[in-house]
Amino acid sequence: MDDYALVLNAGSSSLKFCVFQRPMAEGWRLEARGQIEGIGTSPRLSVKDGNGEILTKQDLDAGVRDGRDAVDALGTWLRSKYGGSRVLGVGHRVVHGGSRFKGPTILDRQVLAELNELVPLAPLHQPYNLAAIEAVFERLPGVPQVACFDTSFHRGQSAVAELIPLPLELRQAGLQRYGFHGLSYEYIASVLPQVAPEIANGRVIVAHLGSGASLCALKDGKSVDSTLGFTALDGLCMGTRPGAIDPGVVLHLFQGLNMSAKEVETLLYKKSGLLGISGISNDMRDLLGRSEPEARLAVDYFVYRAAKEIGALTAALGGLDGLVFTAGIGENSAEIRQRICNASAWLGIGVDEAANSNGEAKISTSLSTVSAWVIPTNEELMIARHTGSLLGLAKAA
């Protein structure tokens, strides 16, 4: 294989990666996609090629205890597979870029130090994103790295959309609405002209529904507003996160129930949402297959919150031309799509049940005044594009 770029998405117990061949005129080509999961417990490497064929599935040494070890294990596999090729650059998904980083950024030690200051705003993701960057600095010191932020796509929203109504001195210290899942929304916006040209320049709400869930209002392909704000706790109900709640609830957790800051953080990030409501699971697939009333209530609330926020973002857009579903639940659950569209039928959305069940791109009826779509997201390709652009990796055919 020719020289390649590596895309990393590091989490607390997994390291997801993609290998992209250096682009010719037709763009980046995916060579391999995989992950190391079970880091710190039972680490396992699984990789598929660009066509989805299995390249390897193997248990790793139990010594893969953290993200740095996982990067080492990945490096060993890459050398065995692509030993004659060169890593041209590494692109990273970084959840929070704060107010300073408004676009993809070439990484150095100073940038890494500034990103570490944002860890309290994204404690579930940021520390692991940055640990992978540090590991590449150590293991591949001559390879340039690029940080691609989930917040960047939302920069440029209006002042009222970014505002948190607190005193000026606090807002000047960085308290504002940032929005997340930006790489996913940016990708969807980039493919709308090809997949759904009739709405690409209109008013569109994209529903990124997965373990983390949010909505983004697009006008002419640009972010106008989104449901996630200062942190990734806002907006929709998620797998283990509550979404929007009365701030007084948090005060009561501290003052009335005498919970510590760490206990509150754990509650809000890891024990709430679908898991908290159901007491059964944070996985929508599990809940849809269960008959317990708590499981049904969790699903009902998820749909209710999504439909409610679609109405709010429609108001922010001044109307709606299209609704796009993406991410794990959005792409794979016909039932959740159907229920959200039914709850939003007042907007003019009608679902073609056969198209929805068959996973077609357009799932609305011909009589719908607002069309509905299913478009798979590709955050990794978006990262590869940004990495290539900043590092000048593209070459002519």
* Candidates 69, 150, 225, 234; catalytic one: 150
351 close to 342: Cβ distance less than 8 angstroms:
yes
- Lookup result for tokens 């001044």: 318
| The two three-digit tokens of residue 329, written as one number | 């639940």
Q: Residue 371's CB: how many other CB atoms inside 10 A?
A: 23
Cα 178 to chain centroid, rounded? 14
User: Are β-strands 145-149 and 87-94 bridged in parallel, bridged antiparallel, or unpaired?
Assistant: parallel
Q: Could you tell me how many residues make up the chain?
A: 397
DSSP-derived secondary structure letter, 362? B
Phi and psi, residue 2, nearest 5°: -65, 175
Residues 6+ apart with CB under 8 A from 213: 207, 235, 236, 237, 238, 239, 243, 302, 306, 327, 329
> How far is it, in rounded angstroms, from Cα 195 to Cα 205?
15
* 207 φ/ψ angles, rounded to the nearest 5 degrees: -105, 100
Q: Which residue has the tokens 């996913």?
A: 184
The answer to whether 66 is a known catalytic residue is no
How large is the greatest C-alpha to C-alpha distance in the chain, in angstroms? Answer: 66
Cβ atoms of residues 307 and 344 within 8 Å: yes
Nearest to 1 by CA among 24, 34, 26, 35: 24
Q: Cα 370 from chain centroid?
A: 25
Residue 344's nearest CA partner among 326, 374, 322 is 322
The DSSP result for 42-56, as a single string, is S-EEEEEETTS-EEE
Determine the Cα–Cα distance for residues 73 and 86; give it in Å rounded to an integer. 17
CA torsion angle for 291, 295, 301, 303 (degrees, to 10)?
A: -60
Strand ranges across the sheet with 203-209: 222-226, 213-219, 203-209, 322-326, 371-374
Catalytic residues: 150
